[in-house]
Amino acid sequence: MKGITQVVAVELKLIIRDPMSAFFALAFPTIMIWVKLRSGKPLPGGLPSVDANVPMLSIFVIGLATLVILPATLAQYRERRVLKRLLATPASPGMLFGAQWIAHMLMALLGTALLIAIGAIGYDLSAPANPGIVVLAWVLGALSLSGIGFLLGAVVPSGRTATVLGLSVFFPMVFISGAVIPRESMSGSMRAIGDMLPMAPAVQTIRNGWEGHAASPVAMLVMVGICLVTAGVAVKAFRW
């Protein structure tokens, strides 16, 4: 893994220097949580809104990093032949993609930390009942959504196309998988559709962990499965 710290550091700097991705990853969720917690009303069922929104929106942040920003970065690198130039160095492809992934995950982690800090300081966020499950859900959610993001980024020819495609996967997904609107506020039919989307198991598992409900092993296996299948196809289909 020669050079991985270098590439991670460079990619992080590039993400931060790009105002669009920095805004999307950090400012956008901050605004979202403020908008959603303004009324202060608890959710149907009595759960304080903040205890649902912080874990939900952390999946939203993961989705942004993996489904929108990661594929756009890869596609732009393809479009501008950055990837081709890297292919002509001894750097291993595994290292390069690993570094990309780590950099985008660090950004999602920063977004999540920001959400937790705002929730804790401003809105009396409860500590997660089962921190182990919360962390596991975050990681598995990140892996499964990264797989999808890599698949998009593996083949899309240009950065613009990738952004459009990424956003058109991301927005419907966050809205009906319960990452923006709490599941208990959605109609039954919407929830049923949302449950078929790959973001749903991540949202459900992280919320269960936070609230202390039992987490579903099936949901976790589904996330592992999504990750393996999409990453496998991405590696096969990847165009430099």
Partner 1 sequence: MTVIEIEGMSKSYKGRHVLTDVSLQVEQGEIFGIAGPNGAGKTTTVECMSGLRERDGGVLRVLGLDPQRDRRELLPRIGVQLQEAALPDALKVGEALKMYASFYDKPADWRKLMDEWGLADRQRSSFASLSGGWKQRLFIALALVGNPEVVFLDELTTGLDPSARRMTWGLVREVRDRGVTVVLVTHFMDEAQALCDRMAIIDQGRVITHGTPGELITQGRTESLEDAYFALTGGQAA
Compose the 118-147 pattern: x for residues touching partner 1 by CB under 8 A, - for all others: ------------------------------
* Residue 176: HSE in the Cβ half-sphere, 13 Å Cα cutoff: 15
One residue of 34, 85, 122, 168 binding partner 1 per CB under 8 A: 85
Our finding on whether 13 is near partner 1 (CB under 8 A) is yes
Q: Which is nearer to partner 1, 117 or 237 (CB)?
A: 237
Answer for the pair 210, 128: CB distance below 8 angstroms, yes or no: yes
Task: Please report where in the chains the tokens 């069922």 appear, as a residue.
Answer: 45
Q: Which is nearer to partner 1, 75 or 169 (CB)?
A: 75
Q: Does 77 bind partner 1 (CB under 8 A)?
A: yes
Residue 90 contacts partner 1 per CB under 8 A? yes
Instruction: Report d(CA 20, CA 170) in Å as an integer.
Output: 16
Q: Residue 130, exposed/middle/buried by CB under 10 A (0-12, 13-18, 19+)?
A: middle
Per-residue string for binding with partner 1, 47-76, x by CB under 8 A? -----------------------------x
Query: Minimum Å distance from CB 114 to partner 1?
Result: 22
Residue (18 or 195) nearer to partner 1, CB? 18
Dihedral Cα 110, 65, 129, 122, nearest 10 deg = 50
Site membership for partner 1, residue 7 (CB under 8 A): yes
Structure tokens at 189: 């039919």
Phi-psi region of 88 (alpha: psi -120 to 50; beta: other; left: phi over 0): alpha
User: Which stretches of the chain bind partner 1, using CB under 8 A?
Assistant: 2-3, 6-7, 10, 13-14, 17-18, 76-77, 80-82, 84-85, 87-91
